[in-house]
Structure 1
Amino acid sequence: MLDALEIVTTVVVGLMVGVEFAVAFVMNPIFKALPDDASQMAQSHGGRMLGAAMPVWYIGSLVLSAVWAVAGRHHDGVGLVVTAAGLLVLSVVMSLLLLVPINNRNKTWTPETRPADWKEQIDRWNRYHYVRVAVIIAAFTLLVAALA
């Protein structure tokens, strides 16, 4: 049973990392290259779509990691899993304090209602997102190492 939990957790976190990596290094550069109205509308749509899915994914990843840490507390690698779970906690806290407030504003904007500093706000979100991606990559790496 622990083996299945380890695999499911690693796959769920790995897929989350892949999506967030693609947002940071594929989708957002594409959006930024579009004309302003299209760029802003793409950012808003992405914010609405991923803003609905990612909280469940982040919390689910954290819960799975915590369950793994408890269930595997007497096994080798539990320290790596606990550290990974700590990093996932950090990613959730970063999301709530830094990224979600910007995203909540962004997802309501239209070309007619966006603020004058919308590009600066998107750039700030992207900078925070790069750090969050690094944090979840580190968590994923620790989970993979715990499997070995």
Structure 2
Amino acid sequence: MLAALEVVTTVVVGVLVGVEFSVAFVVNPILAALPGDNGLRGRVHGARMLGAVMPFWYIGSLVLGAVWAVADWSGRGAGLVVTAAAFLIVSVVMSIALLVPINNRVKTWTADGLPDDWKQQMNAWDRFHYVRVVVLVAAFAFLVAALV
């Protein structure tokens, strides 16, 4: 049963890392290159769609990591799993404190009703997101290390 938990947790966190990495380094650069306000429309739609799904994914990843840490507390990789869970906590706190407030504003934007500082807000979100991706990659790396 522990092996299944380890695999499920690693896969769930790994896919989360892949999605967030692709948002940072594939999707947002593509949207930024689109003419007119098409990229902004894509980001607004992404804020709505991913904003609805990601809280469950982040919290679910954290819960899975915590359950793994407790279930294998005396195991050889327990310290690595606890470290991964700590990184997942950091990613959740970062999301709530830094990214979600911007995301909540972005999803209300229309082409006719943009704030004057919308580009600065997008740039801030991107910078915070890059840091969050690094944190998530670290969490994933510690989970993988705990498996081997």
The TM tier, using the shorter chain, reads over 0.9
2:146 pairs with 1:133: no
Structure 1 residue 29 displacement after superposition: 0.2
Structure 1 residue 37 displacement after superposition: 1.3
Question: What is residue 123 of structure 2 aligned with on the other side?
Answer: 123
Structure 1 residue 117 displacement after superposition: 1.1
Question: What is residue 108 of structure 1 aligned with on the other side?
Answer: 108
Between 95-104 and 28-37, the greater mean CA deviation after superposition: 28-37
TM-score (norm 2): 0.99
Q: Which amino acid aligns with 1:135?
A: V
Q: Which amino acid aligns with 1:100?
A: V
Unaligned runs of 5+ in 2: none
Deviations 1:71-125 (A, max 9, x none): 0011101000000000000000000000000000001101001111111100100
Structure 1 residue 35 displacement after superposition: 2.4
2:87 pairs with 1:75: no
Q: Which amino acid aligns with 1:102?
A: I
Q: Secondary structure at the match of 1:65?
A: helix
Deviations 1:18-59 (A, max 9, x none): 000000000000111112411111110000000011110000
Which structure 2 residues correspond to residues 40-55 of structure 1 after superposition, within 5 A?
40-55=40-55
Question: What is residue 65 of structure 2 aligned with on the other side?
Answer: 65
Unaligned runs of 5+ in 1: none
Q: For 1:98 and 1:135, how far apart are their aligned partners in 2?
A: 14
Q: Secondary structure at the match of 1:53?
A: helix
Q: Secondary structure at the match of 1:111?
A: coil
Q: Which amino acid aligns with 2:144?
A: V
The runs of 4+ residues in structure 1 deviating greater than 4 Å are: none
Question: What is residue 3 of structure 1 aligned with on the other side?
Answer: 3
Report how many residues are paired.
Answer: 148
Q: Secondary structure at the match of 2:37?
A: helix
Q: Secondary structure at the match of 1:134?
A: helix
Q: For 2:142 and 2:64, how far apart are their aligned partners in 1?
A: 14
